[in-house]
Amino acid sequence: MIKHVMPYVAGSYGATILILGGLSLTSLLRYRAARRRLAAVEPRGRRRRDAMQDEQS
Amino acid sequence: MPDYTGDIAARPIGAPQSKAGAWLHRFANPGRFQRLVQPVLPWLTVVAFLTTVIGLVWGFFYAPADWQQGIASRIMYVHIPSAWVAMNGYAALAICSLLSIVWRHPLADIAAKEIGPVGAGFTALCLISGSLWGRPEWGTYWVWDARLTSVLILLFLYLGHMALIRAFDNPQHGYRAAAILGLVGAVNLPIIVFSVYWWNTLHQGNSISVTGPSKIYVTMLYPLIVCTIGFYLAFAAMCLGRISSGIMENRARALLLAQAERGDA
């Protein structure tokens, strides 16, 4: 009985690891990529915004 | 200079009409959301990971086998938490849809967009683990039972929401159409919950009750509770991380657009 059922139990835990692991990994990679991209763009944006404010004042 | 929420910021956000509206508007600010979430997110991720691992190891290796089902009952530690998260995830998506339609919260649109794929993942896990339990116990992977069918519809609702939100050139149209689907689809939630009582189903009734005594013994209940907490925390961590990513992506896009408009990018 144990041998007969074990593949189904192991399969469900394997699916859990795959799905939750996959979702976590994609979320983490996207978060890091978004942070990197924003860090690359934001300082220039801030400098220009400051410059615009200086021009207005 | 556009706000860093990007295209979403172009939406007309009405003035709050009530105290609740004012409170919601206050927390709908993506900048405030980032300030609240970013310090918490690493800790939440670590706690979610540890709780889920402890729950799964406890359920797989140490939880006792059921006297009728044998070790097939260990699938329960995956199946039940994923089912609860899938349903409550959709409830969260429906609330975001309501906030989007009624108050036009920019954050509600991003939240609904990011909850969709995570909720679909948990629903798929619920269906897969249920099928793997059904084969040894029922003799089949699938039956067109009311509970199983209504959960399959939940998966289609998640997938439809994900497709609809990305189907328009104008993101605002996508957000609006997906919000209507998200709200209408919430009708499926009580159908899932009560399907085992409204129809004669092969799927068993509820074994766990919040108001009354549960039909499950404590040695099996405790790992189930740990797995459930772990799955909810994992869902929260993934959704908050994805929402935060969405806000940062919109902000970067808005900054690049602003630079391009000035011709100095």
Q: Which pLDDT band, with edges at 50, 70 and 90, does A4 fall under?
A: confident
Partner-chain contact A42 B125, CB within 8 Å? no
A9 touches chain B (CB under 8 A): yes
Classify residue B205: in a domain, yes or no.
no
A34 touches chain B (CB under 8 A): yes
Contact (Cβ atoms closer than 8 angstroms) between residue B231 and residue B85: yes
Q: Please tell me the distance in Å from A54's CA to the nearest CA on chain B.
A: 14
> What is the total count of domains within chain B?
1
Q: Give me the phi and psi of B186, to 5 degrees please.
A: -65, -20
Reported ipTM: 0.85
Mind listing the pLDDT tens digit for each residue in B3-45? 444 444 444 445 455 666 666 666 678 888 899 999 999 999 9
Other CB atoms within a 10 A radius of the CB of residue B16 amount to 15
Checking if the pLDDT of A30 tops 80, the result is yes
Lowest mean pLDDT among A38-42, B146-150, B176-180, B241-245: A38-42
Classify residue B18: in a domain, yes or no.
no
Instruction: Pick A1's closest partner by Cβ from B45, B70, B255.
Output: B70
Nearest to B97 by CA among B36, B57, B157: B157
Contacts of A24 in chain B (CB under 8 A): 45, 49, 234, 237-238
Classify residue B36: in a domain, yes or no.
yes
Q: Please tell me the distance in Å from A47's CA to the nearest CA on chain B.
A: 11
Chain A residue closest in CA terms to B68: A1
Residue B166 structural domain: 30-200+220-258
Contacts of A15 in chain B (CB under 8 A): 78, 125, 128-129, 132
What's the rounded Cα separation, in Å, for the pair B179 and B241? 21
Partner-chain contact B252 A19, CB within 8 Å? no
What pLDDT is attached to residue B222?
92
What is the helix (H) or strand (E) element at residue B195, kind and residue range? helix B188-198
Contact (Cβ atoms closer than 8 angstroms) between residue B223 and residue B62: yes
Question: For residues B157-181, b (16+ Cβ closer than 10 Å) or e, as one string?
Answer: bbebbbebbeeeeebeebbbebbeb
Rounded to two decimals, what is the model's pTM?
0.86
Q: Which pLDDT band, with edges at 50, 70 and 90, does B55 fall under?
A: very high
Classify residue B105: in a domain, yes or no.
yes
Which of A1, A2, A3, A8 is best to mutate for the B interface (most B CBs within 10 A)?
A8
Contacts of B124 in chain A (CB under 8 A): 19
Partner-chain contact A48 B71, CB within 8 Å? no
Instruction: Pick B241's closest partner by Cβ from A12, A31, A45.
Output: A31
What pLDDT is attached to residue B3?
44
Classify residue B175: in a domain, yes or no.
yes
CATH of the domain at B177: 1.20.120
Instruction: Pick B245's closest partner by Cβ from A34, A40, A49.
Output: A34
